[in-house]
Amino acid sequence: MTVAASENPFGHSIGADDIVDTLGFFDNWEDRYKYIIDLGKELPAMPDDLKTDERLIRGCQSQVWLEHERRGSEFHFLADSDAFIVKGLLGVILSAYNNKSAQQILDFDIEQYFEALDLLRHLSPTRGNGLRAMVQRIRDIAAAEAG
């Protein structure tokens, strides 16, 4: 992968707790959506040559690519999408999973996280399915490495 871990703030300087805390400051979902879109602007750019069919996540309404590498026991993810809101949702997910071990990824209670964010109620069913597909891909990667 071409992006250094220090260039990706998710799971490093922006953690899952930070996302929950910040979203809690907003009174309405319009402001929360703006924040999520702004999170997507923090994602490091994925080089076009990495946007291949093998990295494409099926089940998403938009195109979403995910690349990973393992450094020591930690996984580092690089992700991109052609939709601004989805890039933000990738940031939400990576804040929980990036720079974590396979066991930490598998142990993380993503349902409780989504509940704390009150996120799934505010996404269309197709976006919610896409979000779950992104999570499942990351969990599958971790499970393959852990097993």
60 is catalytic: yes
Residue 46 to residue 80: CA distance in whole angstroms = 6
Report how far Cα 66 is from the mean position of its chain's Cα atoms: 9
What contacts 124, CB < 8 A, 6 or more positions away?
61
- For 110-119, b where at least 16 C-beta lie within 10 A, e where not — what string? beebbebbeb
The model's pTM: 0.93
Residue 20 to residue 1: CA distance in whole angstroms = 29
Q: CA-based diameter of the chain, in Å?
A: 43
Q: Which of 23, 57, 60, 66 is catalytic?
A: 60
Please state, rounded to an integer, the average pLDDT across all residues of the chain: 92
- Write out pLDDT tens, residues 62-76: 999 999 999 999 999
59, 107, 140 from 117: Cα distances, Å: 22, 18, 23
Instruction: Count the domains in the chain.
Output: 1
Domain around 73: 5-146
Residue type, 58: R
- Write out pLDDT tens, residues 17-62: 999 999 999 999 999 999 999 999 999 989 999 999 999 998 878 9
**Which CATH number is 92's domain given?**
3.90.1010.10
